[in-house]
Amino acid sequence: MIYDVIIIGGGPAGLSAGLYAGRGKLNTVLIEKETFGGQTSTTHEVENYPGVLKVTGPELSETMKEQVEKFGVEILKGDVESVKFDDKIKKVITSKGELQGKTVILAMGAKPRLAGFKNEEEFRSMGVSYCATCDGAFFEGMDIAVIGGGDSALTEAIFLTRFAKSIKIIHRRDEFRAAKSLVNKAKEHEKIEFILNSVVEEAQGDGLLEKLILKNTLTGEKSELEVSGCFVFVGLDPINDIIKGKIELDEGGYVLAGEDMKTNIDGVFVAGDLRKKDLRQIITAASDGAIASIMAEKFIEGH
Ligand code: NAP
């Protein structure tokens, strides 16, 4: 069978593309390897998606998935191993077999970046975490650190106050990328303190994390911080393994496409965090997905 649209990735971009393709009666398959919702599924609370006052990330993700299923999109749980975009009919090779499609929408998103301190990998899951929703409860009553100065670091630090006894937000500058409202909310919280102009150089402990070695970026001075947990939120890296060398990417590895979501390959579109763009939010991912589907439909009509 040749699908009209093959969507790779089941985050807000992919699910929104699925919703529009399904409603447009395109014969569509959506492949997701892990959890539907992508990063949204690990976000504790969403309060900046229009029409929804407050919802948990997993709830919003599940509703998006249900909506897609309602419109008849085939959902496949599996891993995409490679893609072949040379011919008119595109091929997507998955752990469940080969799929063929007239168009492909790339919506693999992005994944948490490592901070790069010594022993970061060794202490992963032994105190170092990249997901507050997943691991926060393990740190009930404990002293922890959060690294980063963006929306994720501040949002998740505020969430972690539910569990932790104290939270030190370690940021390499004294200005924040995060929204002012979030910074103010964190500053006002009694459990949160900031350690600014500082980076983590090393994690230490006997099996489990016990302390971080910090370095002041202005003075070079080193210090120790005793913590049982360290949550890292220092940005994202695009998930582009299967398309590297096959499609035009920018220097950061994001797919180049304009507001029409068209990549440099005919019939291949991109949507969401994987696209080079200025604002990575659920709403912009959803918007990309909708546009990508409509553009895929136009592409099919034109051929
Ligand atoms: P981000 O906005 O790229 O911020 C990353 C932060 O980590 C920056 O403060 C950066 O410092 C710092 N950093 C980067 N590399 C570092 C390193 N090696 N060591 C120490 N610090 C490092 O990433 P994000 O917070 O994960 O957010 C990603 C995207 O999702 C953004 O577009 C964000 O707006 C969006 N998001 C939105 C919401 C929301 O609207 N509620 C929630 C979460 C995420 P510098 O500032 O010095 O570069």
Tokens of residue 164, six digits: 């932790």
In this structure, are residues 289 and 125 in contact, taking their beta carbons and an 8 Å threshold? no
> Ligand 1: distance of its center to the CA of 268 in Å?
29
How would you write the pLDDT of the chain (303 residues) with one tens digit per residue?
Answer: 999 999 999 999 999 999 999 999 999 999 999 999 999 998 878 888 999 998 999 999 999 999 999 999 999 999 999 999 999 999 999 999 999 999 999 999 999 999 999 999 999 989 999 999 889 999 999 999 999 999 999 999 999 999 999 999 999 999 999 999 999 999 999 999 999 999 999 999 999 999 999 999 999 999 999 999 999 999 999 999 999 999 999 999 999 999 999 999 999 999 999 999 999 999 999 999 999 999 999 999 998
| Nearest Cα residue to atom 29 of ligand 1 | 280
> Ligand 1: distance of its center to the CA of 151 in Å?
6
In this structure, are residues 197 and 173 in contact, taking their beta carbons and an 8 Å threshold? yes
Is the C-beta atom of 116 inside 6 A of ligand 1?
Answer: yes
- pTM beyond 0.75: the answer is yes
In this structure, are residues 281 and 9 in contact, taking their beta carbons and an 8 Å threshold? no
Tokens of residue 54, six digits: 């407050």
| Nearest Cα residue to atom 33 of ligand 1 | 151
In this structure, are residues 84 and 90 in contact, taking their beta carbons and an 8 Å threshold? yes
Strands (E), 118-210: 128-129, 143-147, 166-170, 192-195, 198-204
> Ligand 1: distance of its center to the CA of 277 in Å?
14
| Nearest Cα residue to atom 16 of ligand 1 | 234
Burial class (CB in 10 A: 0-12, 13-18, 19+), 51: exposed
Q: What domains can you pick out in the chain, each with its CATH number?
A: 2-111+236-302 (3.50.50.60), 114-232 (3.50.50.60)
What's 72's DSSP letter?
T
In this structure, are residues 236 and 254 in contact, taking their beta carbons and an 8 Å threshold? no
Is the C-beta atom of 237 inside 6 A of ligand 1?
Answer: no
In this structure, are residues 215 and 231 in contact, taking their beta carbons and an 8 Å threshold? no
Which residues are annotated as catalytic? 131, 134-135
- Taking the C-alpha atoms of residue 158 and residue 194, their distance in angstroms, rounded to an integer, is 12
